[in-house]
Amino acid sequence: METVNLKDIFSALSKQIKIDYDELASSIPHNGERGSGREEVVKELLREYLPQRFGVDSGFVIDIHGKLSRQADIIIYDRFIAPRFKILKNKYLYPCESVVAVGEVKSHMSKIELEDAIAKLKIVRELDRTGNGTNTARSGYHFGLESKLSPQNNNCDAIWTFIFCLDSPNLETVTKNLAESLKALERPKWPNLVCILNKGIISYRSNTGLVTDPREAISLYHSTEDEAEHALLKWFMLLCQDICNTHITVIDSINYLQSPHTKVRNHPLRR
């Protein structure tokens, strides 16, 4: 029986993405267009390899109260659980109940860029996936769970967040900058994973080893230099594993229609 080496496949893919990034950097002088190009490379990768139930796009995430995220570079959403709402030619609003992950894409992980990404992802984590406390956790499409969604306490109920970057200072420096940036935030608002394509990944360590849930963390974790070529593989596998376990829920359509300012008029029924 023939076998394949997944590490070799993703190592080759990492090299190809590096080539794509370098071509964009040299051929697109306008920073805004270059940023869009970086995002497209990552989105195409995710579309190619993620399970088909997931859609990948850019746009905005909204909750039942009408609260809105800032424009997100990467939105991964469940195609079958909720509609998306078109607001511009190629921009959509995604109900937070159907969104399983949001990511920010950077070319170089300076401290300023890191803090900008954390601030954007924090807003996503503050959106209300509970539907005012009424949404029931659901895994897949055929059954519901007994518990209510609780993103504050349960990683599976929260939108998974990540930062993807082409390059950075050494991982030790980025990890120290990350630790400093996280001090002012509650743990449920911390990003799950940082991937730096030419360096490695940064996440968390628990008593049992590498974890992506900051609630379980006893320290930050970063990979070693000799693992750099496999950073993309680790990022993708951890992302895919976690979003496949993320709880989703059907949106409360009536309350979404009332958000934020729809007037309601009642008329008595004749008996």
What is the domain range of residue 25?
Answer: 6-256
Number of folded domains that form the chain = 1
In a domain, 268, yes or no: no
- Whether 127 contacts 149, CB under 8 Å: no
pLDDT band at 158 (very low <50, low <70, confident <90, very high): very high
Average model confidence (pLDDT) across the chain: 85
- Whether 79 contacts 51, CB under 8 Å: no
Q: Is 209 left (phi over 0), alpha (psi -120 to 50) or beta?
A: left
Residue 249 has pLDDT above 50, yes or no: yes
Q: Mean pLDDT across the stretch 228-242?
A: 88
In a domain, 135, yes or no: yes
> How many whole angstroms separate alpha carbon 25 and alpha carbon 30?
9
Q: Higher confidence at residue 230 or residue 144?
A: 230
In a domain, 270, yes or no: no
- Residue range 27-67, pLDDT digits in tens: 655 555 555 677 888 888 898 889 999 999 999 999 999 89
Residue 109 has pLDDT above 60, yes or no: yes
**For residue 224, what is the DSSP state?**
-
Q: Which of 109-113, 130-134, 183-187, 209-213 has the lowest mean pLDDT?
A: 130-134
> How many whole angstroms separate alpha carbon 92 and alpha carbon 98?
13
In a domain, 69, yes or no: yes
Strand partners, 222: 202
In a domain, 269, yes or no: no
In a domain, 265, yes or no: no
Residues 226/231/232/233 CA torsion (nearest 10 deg): 80
In a domain, 226, yes or no: yes
Q: What is the CA radius of gyration of the chain?
A: 20
In a domain, 271, yes or no: no
> How many whole angstroms separate alpha carbon 217 and alpha carbon 191?
12
Residue type, 249: T
User: How many Cβ atoms from other residues are within 10 Å of residue 6's Cβ?
Assistant: 12
pLDDT band at 99 (very low <50, low <70, confident <90, very high): very high
> How many whole angstroms separate alpha carbon 115 and alpha carbon 142?
40
pTM over 0.85, yes/no: yes
Q: Higher confidence at residue 211 or residue 17?
A: 211
- Whether 59 contacts 91, CB under 8 Å: yes
